[in-house]
Amino acid sequence: MLNYIGRRLALGLFTVWAVSVLSFLIIQLPPGDFATTRLAELAASGNTSAIYEAERLRAEYGLDQPVFVQYFTWIGQVLQGDFGMSLDWNRPVADVIGDRLVLTMVVSVAAIIFTWAVALPIGIYSAVRRYSFGDYALTFFGFLGLAIPNFLLALILMYFGFAVFDANVGGLFSAEYETAGWSFAKVWDLFKHLWIPAIVLGLAGTAQLVRIMRANLLDELKKPYVITATAKGLTERKAISKYPVRVALNPFASSIGFLFPQIVSGAIVVSIVLSLPTVGPLLLRALQAQDMFLAGAIVLLIGVMTVIGTLISDLVLMWLDPRIRHGR
């Protein structure tokens, strides 16, 4: 068991390292360093002290040093909680991101909860009542959910919200809470707005999970122990929910490993369409303005959050499944 936790932890750390390298790559990729960009901007505005400013920036961030030295300087600062300055906003990156990262995770977790809450009963129903009208109808909707990319779904929803209900379905808060500090009322307001992004983000995953659950359960339902349970006089409900569903649930739980990155990833684009105050719109703007420290920090933080989420799900899976707990 400890062995398993250790292996997961090591892989998680390794992934975090890989993400940090990739984030640094994203910071480095645009041609010229950001001091050059800044220099061009300042020169364009007729600022003669621009050259000194650029030199100062170069020295401060060690831009004249080899790349790997720069990486270690950057990662060292990040580990101390300093993500550098956002050149676009002229404020520390940590300030700019603020609670947007938390909101990104709130939206993603809400989408996961929606996915599970919906996929589980539908999956069971589809397997138990195989080839019924309901099974076909749900499979059809599942395929549609898979086929419509979530940002397009968000667009269509926006259109219908606007054209039919004359309401803006975007945002996470009502206008009066947008800039207000955190309070119970604000959290409640968040919950009231959360369901639209949760559905938009969760639909594709739901369709996938229903198919997984249906297939798993169908395999289990054929097995003799289910027949035994039924033969001994258990009600259909009990005979299914007590045994085969629990077995079929394991691969279902492990699916969070691929579901979580997928949903976090989708949340970025969907947030831009629905203008949610998450890191999505911020990342887009940072990339457009070549505000690379902000962009790199966001990519890094999203990656780290995803790794932590996956790690937690692995631990939950271990708790659920004795086969993993006891090795092999």
Partner 1 sequence: MADSATAVATAAQDEERISVASQRQLIWWRFRKHKLAMVGAIVVLLFYLVALFADFLSTSDPHASEGQRSLMPPQQVHWFDGGFSPHVYAVRGERDPITLQRTYVVDPTQKIPVTLFAKGYEYEFLGLFTTDIHLIGTEGARAEDTLFLFGTDQQGRDIFSRLIHATRTSMLIGLAGVALSILLGVVLGGISGYYGGAADTVIQRTIEILRSIPTIPLWMGLAAAMPKDWSVNQVYFALTLILSVIGWTELGRVVRGRMMQIRSEDFVTAAELVGGRPRRIIFKHMVPLFASHIIAATTLALPLMIVAETSLSFLGLGLRPPAISWGVMLQQAQNVQAVALYPWMLLPVLPVVAVILAFNFLGDGLRDAADPYDL
Please report, as ranges, the residues that interact with partner 1 according to CB under 8 A.
Answer: 11, 14-15, 18-19, 22-23, 26, 29-31, 143-144, 146-149, 151-152, 155-156, 158-159, 162-163, 168, 170, 257-258, 261-262, 264-266, 268-269, 272-273, 283-284, 287-288, 290, 295-296, 298-299, 302-303, 306-307, 310
Around Cβ 297, how many Cβ atoms within 10 Å? 27
Given the complex with partner 1, which of 94 and 155 has the nearer CB atom? 155
Residue 129 CB, nearest approach to partner 1 (Å): 21
Name the residue among 84, 79, 107 with its Cα closest to residue 96: 84
Are 183 and 252 contacting, i.e. CB atoms less than 8 angstroms apart?
Answer: no
Given the complex with partner 1, which of 47 and 168 has the nearer CB atom? 168
Given the complex with partner 1, which of 101 and 240 has the nearer CB atom? 101
CB neighbour list of residue 98: distance below 8 Å, 6 or more residues apart: none
Name the residue among 141, 242, 250, 145 with its Cα closest to residue 200: 145
Given the complex with partner 1, which of 244 and 303 has the nearer CB atom? 303
Beta bridge partners of 85: 92
The dihedral sign for the CA sequence 206, 207, 209, 214: positive
Angle at 259 between CA 255 and CA 261, to 5 degrees: 135
Q: Maximum Cα–Cα distance for the chain, whole Å?
A: 90
Given the complex with partner 1, which of 307 and 317 has the nearer CB atom? 307
Residue 297 CB, nearest approach to partner 1 (Å): 11
Residue 146 CB, nearest approach to partner 1 (Å): 7
Residue 310 CB, nearest approach to partner 1 (Å): 6
- Which residue has 């938390």 as its token pair? 102
Given the complex with partner 1, which of 147 and 187 has the nearer CB atom? 147
Are 244 and 220 contacting, i.e. CB atoms less than 8 angstroms apart?
Answer: yes
Residue 272 CB, nearest approach to partner 1 (Å): 7
Residue 158 CB, nearest approach to partner 1 (Å): 5
Given the complex with partner 1, which of 92 and 257 has the nearer CB atom? 257
User: What are the start-end ranges of the H helices in 80-181?
Assistant: 93-97, 100-128, 133-147, 150-163
Residue 170 CB, nearest approach to partner 1 (Å): 7
Given the complex with partner 1, which of 18 and 227 has the nearer CB atom? 18
Given the complex with partner 1, which of 222 and 242 has the nearer CB atom? 222
Instruction: Identify residue 217 by its one-letter amino acid code.
Output: L
Please provide the DSSP assignment of 266-320 as one string. HHHHHHHHTT-SSHHHHHHHHHHTT-HHHHHHHHHHHHHHHHHHHHHHHHHHHHH
Rounded to whole angstroms, the Cα distance separating 127 from 107 reads 30
Residue 156 CB, nearest approach to partner 1 (Å): 7
Residue 172 CB, nearest approach to partner 1 (Å): 16
